[in-house]
Every structure is written in C-alpha cells, then in structure tokens.
Amino acid sequence: MLAAVVVSAAGLAQAQSACTSNSLNGGYAYLLTGFTYDQYGQQVDLAVSGRMVADGAGNLTAGDTLSYDGTIIKRSYPSGTYTMASDCTGSLTLTSSNGNKANFDFVLHSDGKEMNLIETDAGVILSGTAKRQVQVVQVVASTP
C-alpha cells in the first residue's frame, strides 16, 4: 500500500528559522574552484583553500592559499564585511592588506554549519562551499 505525504510550503517555511548576522559566526573552512582569463584571453584555472572567521556582527577576516594555474599564492584578508537576509542569503566582501577586494554572494544552510559561495567580481568564475569548523575544547588533567 502506498501512502502519500503532503507538506505545504508554509509548513517548510515555519520549520526553518530566520537568519540574522549572528547566524554567520565563528570559523569556516572554505574550498573554491573555477577559472578566470589572463590578459591574453587564455583561461586560467583557480583553486582556493582557506579559513574565514565571522564575528556574528557583520565583520570577518580570512586567509587562504590560491592556486593560480599552478602558481601558489598565500593571501590575507585582515578585514571584511557581510550582510545577511532573513532567508539566509547574503553577500560578503573581503579586503586584502593591499586594498584588493573580493566579493561573494552566499547561502547559509544546515543551521549555519555550511554555506555555498560564488564570487561576483567580473571575469572570475569561482564557486564552492564553506563549513563551520568544530571548536576543539582541550581538557588538561591536573594531578593532586
């Protein structure tokens, strides 16, 4: 015997909690892949692995390693900002120490544990995911 289950969109919307800027809080490890074009119009493959830390109030920092067609570049973003809509979509801007900016749109999901990102800067096709890092609590035993 087959049973049908009907779930209304309203029921789904109520099951999900609304996001605020505090929904993006703590450390996130990210992995992005894609490509861009060099000054000659040749495709250049990109891969990025890094970590960003959000303060829950619209500010973040990040650092990563970029593979630019096989050339490895370490990058630091000492400042950044983000905005979050109640539907868990948002945008963020990372600013490097030399003033270069990288802009992304994202969707936060899995109760804030993961996000999908896509760079929105012209000429760059870069997307991927970020996952919240688990905070490790170290217990130190003392001897009497």
Q: What is the CA radius of gyration of the chain?
A: 19
pLDDT digits (tens, 9 = 90+) for 45-97: 999 999 999 999 999 999 999 999 999 999 999 999 999 999 999 999 999 98
The model's pLDDT over 90-117, given as tens digits with 9 standing for 90+, comes to 999 999 988 999 999 999 999 999 999 9
Q: Which residues contact 106 (CB under 8 A, 6 or more apart)?
A: 89, 90, 91, 92, 115, 116, 117, 118, 130
pTM here is 0.81
Q: Give the neighbor-by-neighbor strand order of the sheet with 25-37.
A: 71-77, 60-68, 43-55, 25-37, 124-132, 114-119, 101-109, 89-95, 79-84
